[in-house]
Structure 1
Amino acid sequence: MTQFRPVQTHQALGNAFFDRVAPADFPKTILRHRDQRWAERIGLDALSDSKWLEHFGRFEPFEGSFPEPLALRYHGHQFRSYNTDLGDGRGFLFAQCIDPVDGRLLDFGTKGSGKTPWSRGGDGRLTLKGGVREVLATEMLEALGVYTSKSFSLVETGEQLHRGDEPSPTRSAVLTRLSHSHIRLGTFQRFAYFDDKENLQRLVDHTIAHYYPDLAEADDRAAALLERVVAEVARLGAQWTAAGFVHGVLNTDNINITGESFDYGPWRFLPIYDPTFTAAYFDETGLYAFGRQPDTLAWNLTRLAECLVPLSSIEKLEPALNTIWPQFRDQLGRQVLRRLGLKPRDVDEDTALIAAMFAFLTASKAPYEQFFFDWRGGVLSFDRAAASPSADLYASEAFRPFADLLERYGPSDDVNLGHAYFAQKKPRTMLIDEVEAIWAPIAQSDDWSLFHQTLQDIAQMRAAYNVIV
Structure 2
Amino acid sequence: MIFSPQQAILTLGRTYFDPVEAANFPQALLRFRNDRAAATVGLDSLSDAEWIAHFGRFQPLPGSLPQPLALRYHGHQFRVYNPEIGDGRGFLFAQMTDDRGRLLDLGTKGSGQTPYSRFGDGRLTLKGGVREILATEMLEALGVETSKTFSLIETCEELHRGDEPSPTRSAVLVRLSHSHIRIGTFQRLAYFEEKDALRALTAYCLDHYFGEPAGDDAPERLLAHVVDGTARMAAQFIAAGFVHGVLNSDNINVTGESFDYGPWRFAPSWDPGFTAAYFDHAGLYAFGRQPEAIYWDVMQLAISLRRIAEEEPIVAALDTFPDRYRAALVEATLWRLGVLPHDDERDRALTAAIEAALTASGASLDHFYFDWFGGAVPADYGPEFDAVRDLLGPYIPRKPRNHPYWSDPAPCAMLIEEVEAIWSPIAEADDWTAFETKVAQIRRMAEALA
TM-score interval, smaller chain: over 0.9
Q: Say if 2:444 is the partner of 1:447.
A: no
The letter of the residue matching 1:398 is E
Deviates more, 1:62-71 or 1:109-118: 62-71
**Equivalent runs, 1:141-152 vs 2, <5 Å:** 141-152=139-150
Alpha-carbon distance in 2 for matches of 1:212, 1:337? 26
Residue from 389, 405, 415 that aligns with 1:403:
389
The letter of the residue matching 2:368 is F
Please tell me whether the aligned partners of residues 31 and 53 of structure 1 are also in contact (alpha carbons under 8 angstroms): yes
Residue from 212, 215, 240 that aligns with 2:210:
212
**Equivalent runs, 1:406-425 vs 2, <5 Å:** 406-412=392-398, 415-425=399-409
Q: Say if 2:175 is the partner of 1:177.
A: yes
**What do residues 355-380 of structure 1 show as CA deviations (whole Å, max 9, x unaligned)?**
111111011110011101111111xx
Which of structure 1's runs of 4+ aligned residues deviate more than 2 A?
none
Give the aligned partner of residue 72 of structure 1: 71
Shift of 1:217: 6.2
Please tell me whether the aligned partners of residues 268 and 431 of structure 1 are also in contact (alpha carbons under 8 angstroms): yes
Alpha-carbon distance in 2 for matches of 1:121, 1:150? 28
Alpha-carbon distance in 1 for matches of 2:446, 2:180? 25
Q: Say if 2:354 is the partner of 1:357.
A: yes
**What do residues 322-364 of structure 1 show as CA deviations (whole Å, max 9, x unaligned)?**
1000000000000100111112122221111111111110111
**Equivalent runs, 1:39-438 vs 2, <5 Å:** 39-99=38-98, 101-213=99-211, 215-216=212-213, 219-378=216-375, 381-382=376-377, 385-386=378-379, 391=380, 394=381, 396-412=382-398, 415-438=399-422
Alpha-carbon distance in 2 for matches of 1:324, 1:44? 37
Shift of 1:409: 1.7
Count matched residues. 450
SS of the aligned residue for 2:172 comes to strand
Please tell me whether the aligned partners of residues 157 and 172 of structure 1 are also in contact (alpha carbons under 8 angstroms): yes
Give the aligned partner of residue 36 of structure 1: 35
Deviates more, 1:307-316 or 1:111-120: 307-316
Shift of 1:219: 5.0
**What do residues 291-332 of structure 1 show as CA deviations (whole Å, max 9, x unaligned)?**
000001111111100111122111111111110000000000
Alpha-carbon distance in 2 for matches of 1:450, 1:258? 33
Task: Give the TM-score taking structure 2 as reference length.
Answer: 0.99
Alpha-carbon distance in 2 for matches of 1:43, 1:355? 43
Alpha-carbon distance in 2 for matches of 1:322, 1:222? 15
Please tell me whether the aligned partners of residues 206 and 214 of structure 2 are also in contact (alpha carbons under 8 angstroms): no
Alpha-carbon distance in 1 for matches of 2:37, 2:290? 29
Task: Give the TM-score taking structure 1 as reference length.
Answer: 0.95
Deviates more, 1:217-226 or 1:47-56: 217-226
Alpha-carbon distance in 1 for matches of 2:442, 2:383? 34
Deviates more, 1:69-78 or 1:396-405: 396-405
Alpha-carbon distance in 1 for matches of 2:11, 2:370? 46
Alpha-carbon distance in 2 for matches of 1:217, 1:311? 13
Shift of 1:425: 2.1
Please tell me whether the aligned partners of residues 39 and 45 of structure 1 are also in contact (alpha carbons under 8 angstroms): yes
SS of the aligned residue for 1:114 comes to coil
Q: Structure 2 regions of 5+ residues with no counterpart?
A: none
Shift of 1:426: 0.9
Please tell me whether the aligned partners of residues 203 and 214 of structure 2 are also in contact (alpha carbons under 8 angstroms): no
Alpha-carbon distance in 2 for matches of 1:217, 1:34? 38
Alpha-carbon distance in 2 for matches of 1:40, 1:16? 33
Give the percent of matched residue pairs that are identical in Structure 1 and Structure 2: 58
Shift of 1:41: 2.3
Shift of 1:21: 0.3
Give the aligned partner of residue 6 of structure 1: 5
Alpha-carbon distance in 2 for matches of 1:356, 1:427? 22
The letter of the residue matching 1:102 is R
Shift of 1:62: 1.3
Give the aligned partner of residue 463 of structure 1: 447
Deviates more, 1:305-314 or 1:175-184: 305-314
Alpha-carbon distance in 1 for matches of 2:351, 2:63? 49
Alpha-carbon distance in 1 for matches of 2:395, 2:209? 36
The letter of the residue matching 1:375 is W
SS of the aligned residue for 1:155 comes to strand
Alpha-carbon distance in 1 for matches of 2:233, 2:440? 25
